[in-house]
Amino acid sequence: MTSVLRHHRYGRALGAGVLSVALLSGGTAGAFAATSTPSPKVTTTKKPMPTRTATMKPKPMPTRSATKRAMPKTAAAATTAGSITVSTTHKTVKHGEAVAFAGRVKGVKAGTVLVLQHRMNGKWTTLRTTTVVNRNGTFTIRRTFTAKGNETVRVVTKDTKVMSSPVSVKVS
């Protein structure tokens, strides 16, 4: 019988089943004899457990490196600190004409100083144009551009922790 249990699928399954029943019944009897209280009642669920079918596919879990790449540190810091949205009504202006940038802040206190920055030679440079956040969370910044060309600007808090998306203005 030993060779049947070792070399055949059904024999192995039968041997494993017999061994499992023996271990479970021996453990249960020993546990029951050791305690004077009866074992807890068996509860049944109203809904049957779902079974895995051929159409169900396991969902891959995201790896630690994938989640780090998906959320860079600068974006996480900007999201937690607050947000600034800015827009302008005039996308094209003549040089020497003032442009008004209006927007709204979230997560930034009223009275916070906002500054205007423009992109020059690939770097953001702070301009001397400032304003403060109103009690209702809005602001307006006016700037006169004297140089012709495209100006890409953004609004940031004075401590540069919160910044808006860039806005382009063509100066002709």
| Contact of 156 with 163, CB cutoff 8 Å | yes
DSSP string, 2-48: HHHHHH-HHHHHHHHHHHHHHHHHHHHHHHHHH-SSPPPPP---SSP
Predicted local confidence at residue 135, as pLDDT:
94
Q: Name the nearest CA neighbour of 164 among 134, 119, 120, 98.
A: 119
Predicted local confidence at residue 60, as pLDDT:
72
Predicted local confidence at residue 79, as pLDDT:
46
C-alpha to C-alpha distance for 50 and 53, rounded to whole angstroms: 9
Name all domains of the chain by residue range, CATH numbers in brackets: 2-34 (no CATH), 80-171 (2.60.40.10)
Computed over its alpha carbons, how large is the radius of gyration of the chain?
Answer: 35
Alpha-helical regions (H) of 35-135: 64-70, 73-81
pTM above 0.85, yes or no: no
Tens-binned pLDDT, residue by residue, of the chain (172 aa): 555 545 667 677 777 777 677 666 665 555 555 555 555 666 666 666 666 665 666 667 766 655 555 555 554 444 457 999 999 988 999 989 999 999 999 999 999 999 999 999 999 999 999 999 999 999 999 999 888 999 999 999 999 899 999 999 999 9
Predicted local confidence at residue 30, as pLDDT:
53
